[in-house]
Amino acid sequence: MPLEQWLPQQEKIALKNLLRNIAPPGTAPGAVIASPSKENPNYWFHWVRDAALVMDLVVDQYALSSSADQKAYYLNLLWNYADFSRMNQLTPNPSGGPGEPKFHVDGSAFVGPWGRPQNDGPALRAITLIRFAKALIQNSKAEESRRLSNTIKYDLEYVSHHWKHPSFDLWEEIHGMHFYTLIVQYQSMVEGAEYLDLLGDTGASEWYRKQAQSLETELNKHWESPKGYIVSTRNRVGGIDYKGSNLDASVILGVLHASTFKTFSVEDSRVAATLLKAKQTFKSLYAINQSGPKGIAIGRYPEDKYDGYSSAGDGNPWILITNGFAEFHFRLAQRLEKRGRLTIDRWNQPFFRDLGMDLPLGVIQKGESRFSAVLQALMTEGDEYLTRVKYHIDSDGQMAEQMNRWSGYLQGARDLTWSYASFLTALEARSKTP
């Protein structure tokens, strides 16, 4: 089936399967299960990170839907999520704060050993709830939206006072300072400041803007020009010690999840250099990338040993990351079209060359044929990644966490909610390309 025909069909399946994982039978209202898989692996939990990224998509659905019934349906899901989140914040847990990574599906604390805290969680949750609050305001529900302010401010206060402390990364493995965590914390401070201005709390917004500035300085330290890419972790204090390359696709996910950042945006040539390095690395690392469609299946980081069941195996490419790489190219095409110009420098020149565009250093303007060729090349590349995912997933549209690096078969948690969300956000970006 041609991609154009498959995408709208898969879009419906992805949305349906995503919604099925929000408060399924046996869970509390507002809980978002990471996957229906209850053993090997057990993902039957509410992860704060996964839930925030998934509910962000539900905010979009709420804002976009035109039927009153649908709006009411999404609104109900969002309020339940907000209430469940508040309960998570107030439930005593082993992290001793909002950095606790996951909860049981009834909202009680998970007290087993785990990599904690994970401080991207409260930042992502704040971002999603702020967008929910803004959507309410746009739908003439400003009064109701105030009920979110305590929950939002609780997370923002935590981020603003704790971002200098090491925490576990989004892959729950390394204790240290991570680009992904820092960039979503940055985003939460910027969006949080705007939100608190709306509430008239200018003391807080000033403080958050100051944190955002310092976070930007910290983020810049992750660019290592001798290596030619943005490194994932600095100041490691614990957790796994075998990520020698410090090259991690989560840098690209961070750029996507912190969508309004001016530096480290999709246009930043340091990000392009990092993406290319990851692509080349995974291209040669995984057997499945040696055949099949042109698009490259992308994993977390080259040294990864987590195979979806245990950490004694071979890491594999992930669906949500491959979708994320697609989304990156769509978003870049869209941004360049808006900006009307592209500056080629020594860091992004190889990225464009890899797309088949041999461009000299300097500026390319909208109107030049090279400019539209660049946009075209980006959109084609985005589609290649989606074609790769299409090639490996089952005919019923089920999206698991991983694709086996040798055979391409799906593995790890089935019906991963975040996989569906990543597909839907990639399509949303694709629909906005020129």
Query: Which value, in Å, is the radius of gyration of the alpha carbons in the chain?
Result: 21
Closer CB to ligand NOJ, residue 268 or residue 327? 327
- Which burial class, exposed, middle or buried, applies to 317 when counting CB atoms under 10 A from its CB (0-12, 13-18, 19+)? buried
Interface stretch with ligand NOJ, choices 148-156, 164-172, 325-333, 403-411 (CB under 6 A): 164-172
Of positions 10, 23, 32, 47, contacts ligand NOJ by CB under 6 A: 47
Q: What is the DSSP letter of 102?
A: E
Match 């305001």 to its residue by tokens.
137
Told to check if 311 binds ligand NOJ by CB under 6 A, we report yes
The active-site residue, picked from 11, 172, 354, 428, is 172
Distances (CA, A) of 251 to 231, 275, 277, 311: 8, 8, 12, 22
Tell me whether residue 201 is one of the annotated catalytic residues: no
Q: What is the DSSP letter of 148?
A: G
Determine if the peptide bond prior to 24 is cis (ω within 30°).
no
**Shortest Cβ 114–ligand NOJ spacing (Å):** 9
Of positions 50, 191, 267, 415, contacts ligand NOJ by CB under 6 A: 50
Told to check if 428 binds ligand NOJ by CB under 6 A, we report no
Told to check if 306 binds ligand NOJ by CB under 6 A, we report yes
The active-site residue, picked from 100, 120, 155, 169, is 169
Told to check if 248 binds ligand NOJ by CB under 6 A, we report no
**Which residues, including other chains, have CB under 8 Å from residue 61's CB and lie 6 or more apart?**
15, 70, 74
**Shortest Cβ 320–ligand NOJ spacing (Å):** 9
Question: Could you count the other beta carbons within 10 Å of the beta carbon of residue 19?
Answer: 19
Tell me whether residue 172 is one of the annotated catalytic residues: yes
Told to check if 170 binds ligand NOJ by CB under 6 A, we report yes
Told to check if 34 binds ligand NOJ by CB under 6 A, we report yes
- Phi and psi at 163, nearest 5°, equal -65, -20
Of positions 22, 30, 49, 261, contacts ligand NOJ by CB under 6 A: 49
What residue is closest to ligand NOJ based on CB? 306
b (16+ CB within 10 A) / e for 23-53:
beeebbebbbbbbbbeeebebbbbbbbbbbb
Told to check if 314 binds ligand NOJ by CB under 6 A, we report no
Closer CB to ligand NOJ, residue 170 or residue 424? 170
Told to check if 18 binds ligand NOJ by CB under 6 A, we report no
Binding site for ligand NOJ (CB under 6 A): 34, 43, 47, 49-50, 170-173, 306, 311, 418
Residues assigned a catalytic role: 169, 172
